[in-house]
Structure 1
């Protein structure tokens, strides 16, 4: 309980404050503390007095009292920049490095950039950023050394555990499914799925040469591919990047040729690719009346970049079979970046932020198709399909 002393007039409070600051500048922290404490005991201390008191305690070497004083400021004003900085530095001095990191991190949220700030303030905040970075690196190094003692190996051990360590230490970001329109609860957040779960991928990959043989005439004719973004815009998904900006600089950079679209075979293109469609006979394609499945060749021109974005609904997964892949083509889902390899398929959750780039000199082409999420029951698939069909057929009257 705080014990208040005799009341002080505003003039007396001002005089004590000025005397305290003069003593602090003169290197006399004991006098400064006494002056500031007289204001506190009178119940007249504001944030400026408490901050000055904390600085006087710092000069005196009494870090615990410094923290006690500045904590009073933060209790009333958690976003006080100076108070956060003082407390972080004091906690480091006391060896409470992990606690200090929280205050340094909050500073970076409060002031994301220091450009344009007065030089002295910018210098202090930049110093805090450097201190925070050193603490994070120190924590990361320590944790890695400790789990290595327990048997962890960055290459041989669980990739998921390695990712959890990187997320904990700030080397990687946490990505979660964020579908644009429909979210099905309790499905796992997995970027790329273990290929072993999908035995039907083997015949799909085995048909790569046959699929390429059907694709090449379509590419040579050059009339079958249209802007992918226009198709997706009709479905209200994939139309903007995660940043809110354009998903791709030019619609002609990312084009598609559909064999099946909105659940319907696209003639005559589908008739020209019988081996491609036959390779998908055992695939559990997402099936929704008037909406799915779809099967398409996706073309990305040299230099094109599909900006980070998320997909439409998480009740499905997306499959890629790379067919024409020049060097310099990569694909990121969440924290994982992979290079396409001809004939090597993968399955991923497109409701986790992802992006694609062709930094090669040739055109990248992949076969894309959607499948039902493997963790949905048959009943759930049926009901999701009915729900999505209802969404499509609803008319406002």
Structure 2
């Protein structure tokens, strides 16, 4: 078949597919046929959009004929091939402009992953309170937390105090415990589950004197930290233990005005943490801070307990005025009687 004859054939197929789609824009066979015709005419990107429409429509239909299923699989394969070619072209073009995923803007790199469907978009989803306009950041950049190095420098002293407490395992209690003043639901198996346990030095904004007295170096190390202070609610300072094989299921925190900080003290290889798209392994003495209103989860696939120091701080973007107002707001809520403690970190 000559080039002109081939083009006329694909144009005729395109016209026939358009005729069917005018009558029924959701006709799966016609959508695939139009994609095929566009491929024949050299427009792979347009073809992918019609293949994609057919695949999305097919997801809503049960009992499709075998021949149509085969065509849908072929369309899906064609879409994947087209996407791979486009991504390769885009990568090469950007490289000529100086882009390097390892060293260029993390934000721009994420934008490419989102556009290509390699990652999904995670947003702040606080379960109770949102202060609008705060950056959507999974792990807070270290340069915005000038106090973090001093906390890391105290790792050895803090671990020594932890080891003395670990010698009394009954001091640790399940992190998720029932409450008499609220309905209790089993948080995906974590309620009263000792696989995830905690020992608090401060809890719900109140010092726990017996434990705090045993950890003076730990509290001294946090003396220069901008702890999130809301009377009766925060800060919380605790040692959090995760047993071998344990999982903390995906969940969201309550308010987006704070960051949750981890200082790993016992962190065997294979213990890891995910916030949004970012998965990291805990490494002893290397702290991080994250936004817990973005979906996060934890896993310990090592053969040992993993134990970290956890505390919560104000986000650096929250002004002093806003900190005072947030604190006053929650104090008013609690004075009214509609609030509740046990915010958690």
Range class of TM-score, shorter chain: 0.7 to 0.9
After TM superposition, the structure 1 = structure 2 runs for residues 267-346 of structure 1, keeping only pairs within 5 Å, are 267-346=209-288
Partner of residue 12 from structure 2, selected from 48, 62, 81 = 62
Match of 2:130 in 1: 183
Shift of residue 339, structure 1, vs aligned partner: 1.1
Shift of residue 249, structure 1, vs aligned partner: 9.0
Find the aligned partners of 1:147 and 1:321 in 2 and give their Cα distance: 38
Match of 1:166 in 2: 113
Higher relative contact order (CA closer than 8 Å, sequence separation 6+): 2
Partner of residue 196 from structure 1, selected from 143, 165, 176 = 143
Q: Which has the larger radius of gyration?
A: 1
Match of 1:219 in 2: 166
Corresponding residue pairs, total? 332
Q: TM-score, normalised by structure 2?
A: 0.87
Match of 1:390 in 2: 332
Shift of residue 328, structure 1, vs aligned partner: 0.7
Alignment check: 8 A CA contact 2:127 2:252 kept: yes
Find the aligned partners of 1:150 and 1:232 in 2 and give their Cα distance: 57
Structure 1 stretches lacking a partner, 5+ long: 1-56, 241-245
Match of 1:3 in 2: none
Q: TM-score, normalised by structure 1?
A: 0.76
Partner deviation per Cα, 1:310-365 (whole Å, 9 max, x = no partner): 22111111111000001111111111111111010011111111111111000001
Match of 2:37 in 1: 90
Shift of residue 221, structure 1, vs aligned partner: 0.7
Shift of residue 248, structure 1, vs aligned partner: 4.5
Structure 2 stretches lacking a partner, 5+ long: 1-6, 339-345
Partner deviation per Cα, 1:210-243 (whole Å, 9 max, x = no partner): 1111111211210121111227998999974xxx
Partner of residue 132 from structure 1, selected from 68, 75, 79 = 79
Find the aligned partners of 2:331 and 2:169 in 1 and give their Cα distance: 34
Partner deviation per Cα, 1:177-220 (whole Å, 9 max, x = no partner): 11122121111111111111111111110110111111112112
Alignment check: 8 A CA contact 1:301 1:364 kept: yes
Alignment check: 8 A CA contact 1:179 1:311 kept: yes
